A and B are shown apart, each in its own frame.
Chain A
């Protein structure tokens, strides 16, 4: 069974620190990887995508992918209280036609 795993948290970091969120996946044929942010009571919002091994940076966010280890991570630099949310890792499945989501990691940035 294809699975995506994340630490459920909560992960608490002080304002200004780096938050590190991790995700592992089981399906070796997965090609595309995404991070979604979900505020309480809201819909998931796409914040990062990554397709090849290495790092991808976008503002304060950096996604890291290691296909050999089947591992994806998201780093948030200079964390802000507004970053407090649940972060969902998603991996394409079934020839890229839909996503398998992890259970999410709840991040709390303390002022």
Chain B
């Protein structure tokens, strides 16, 4: 019974390149959340998606960042033209319902380093 799977675990990109982060939710979960954790800071909500729909992207930077959760396959967080300030840990979580009232389990995260 696999948990939330994220890959890659570590990703190094040069400034200006694109970063693609993948998240496969737990089996039976159709709600996915992305959070970002900058060094020495807490987690910040980025985006909440259901299959084929973005429900809340209020935490997403307006430029260069996008997210999708297609009908088939993992959720993708895409960062175009990365800059040093994008270096962070990106965590994904999933839940079976739209309410986060019961807490949710995070994946192991993707640590992005921009050089």
Contacts and interface: CB of A to CB of B under 8 A. Distances in A.
Contacts of A90: 43, 103
A12 B16 CA distance: 42
Given A43-B109, A94-B56, A97-B55, A32 B44 contact: no
B91 interface: yes
Contacts of B101: 31-32, 51, 92, 96
Contact of B107 (A34, A43, A102): A43
Contact of B108 (A43, A93, A96): A43
Interface string B72-115: 00000000000000000001000000111111111111000000
B55 A88 contact: no
Q: Which secondary structure dominates chain B's binding surface?
A: loop
> Interface residues of B toward A: which range?
20 to 34
A93 B56 CA distance: 12
Contacts, number: 59
Contacts of B42: 88, 101-104
Interface string A35-57: 00000001111100101000000
Interface of A: 31-32, 34, 42-46, 49, 51, 88, 90, 92-94, 96-104
Interface of B: 33, 35, 41-45, 48, 55-56, 58-59, 91, 98-109
